[in-house]
Amino acid sequence: MRMAIQGIGITGSFGSGVASFRAALQTGSDRSALAVDDSPRYRAGIEGLDEFIPKRALRRIDHFSRMTLLGACQALKDADLLAADRSRIGVAIASGYGALNTTFNFLDSYLDFGYSCSSPTHFSNSVHNAAAAHVSIQLKTTAPSLTVTQFEMSVPSALLSAQQWLAEGRVDQVLFGAVDESCEVLNYCREQFFGAGEKGPLRPFAFSEQSAVAGEGAVFFVLTRADHGANYGYVDEVILGNHLVCPLNLPQDDLFIIGADGHKECGSFYAELLNGRAAAAYAPLYGSFPAAAGFDLAAAAVSLGDRTLYASSDPVSSGVTSAIAPQKLDQGQLACLKFGSGGDYGLIRLSN
């Protein structure tokens, strides 16, 4: 079943809102990665959240859920649904890591003070579904709510759930989001594991090199059935699989936005399947994290809305895949392709 994209909300290291994201796509700049202790970091802000949610209501809400709320509110505003009855809007969120900072803060409180005195606030916010619960409570979206965690495949997996809700008529719209955050514990672990590969710059087309740089952010979409019309194109098909078990055959006429984010373990699959084919990659704009496939989907949706596929933010090709130059999208399809470890893949096809 086709799904129409009616609104987008997004926050990342490039800024907040569709206009900031579009500007980043147009310039192709990765200056949003800030150097911290000689290593680049992608940090997402939450400026503007108090436009939608009173500060008092945010007092016990952590950074992960605040990013979630900001993206969700922006998407509703973009779809002109802030003043509408939202009792038939479902919430589906994809996250690979969940609330990392809060989880480790809770563990610290447990280690420091024991079971009886560990932080109840950190505990309640550390569960993966806490952010979806905050969205449902603050925005009064009282239809089904779900958080899906399948690491790199979290986004296409959650998108299939949203598609099923709409097909069954359980909801009229789905507020579909992808959220992940970074933290110092994760950054330390990555530096110990990847070493110099964590120093950047992030080069998605250097498939045989490790150049991934940790990022964070939140992106949300208002999805509905195709007959309601779209502002950013349509999601036509969502496919999950494993290339080693059931080899993926790519559509011949699609233009591809690939989720290559500098992990050489996954790079070989892109190199194999996209041999000689043109593709774009935008990971240098927002960094490497499991839910970044949602940002690839936002890049495709904005491109369809603008009828322009923007140039890849990594113009240096490995010789296997050529980066696309800006071009008009009058007709045809875009496809977002994401590979995970072990050959897992998610393919999301979109069209005007």
Task: Give tens-digit pLDDT for 297-346.
Answer: 999 999 999 999 998 876 555 544 455 667 888 777 899 999 998 999 99
- Please calculate the CA angle 277-279-285 and round it to the nearest 5 degrees: 160
Q: Is the pLDDT of residue 276 over 80?
A: no
Mean predicted confidence (pLDDT) in 244-248:
95
At 33 the pLDDT is 61
Whole-angstrom distance, CA of residue 190 vs CA of residue 181: 14
Mean predicted confidence (pLDDT) in 185-194:
86
At 217 the pLDDT is 97
Residue-wise pLDDT for 71-112, tens only, equals: 999 999 999 999 999 999 999 999 999 988 888 776 777 677
Q: What is the mean pLDDT of the chain?
A: 89
| CATH of span 3-351 | 3.40.47.10
Selected residue with higher pLDDT from 122 and 49 = 49
DSSP string, 29-54: --TTEEEETTEEEE----TTGGGTS-
Helices and strands in the chain: count of H runs, count of E runs: 9, 16
Residue 173's beta-bridge partner residues?
Answer: 89, 224
At 320 the pLDDT is 46
Mean predicted confidence (pLDDT) in 190-206:
83
Whole-angstrom distance, CA of residue 158 vs CA of residue 151: 11
At 106 the pLDDT is 66
Q: How far is CA 323 from the centre of its chain?
A: 21
pTM of the model: 0.93
At 315 the pLDDT is 57
Q: Is the pLDDT of residue 145 over 70?
A: yes
At 105 the pLDDT is 77
Closest CA to 271 of 320, 315, 314, 317: 320
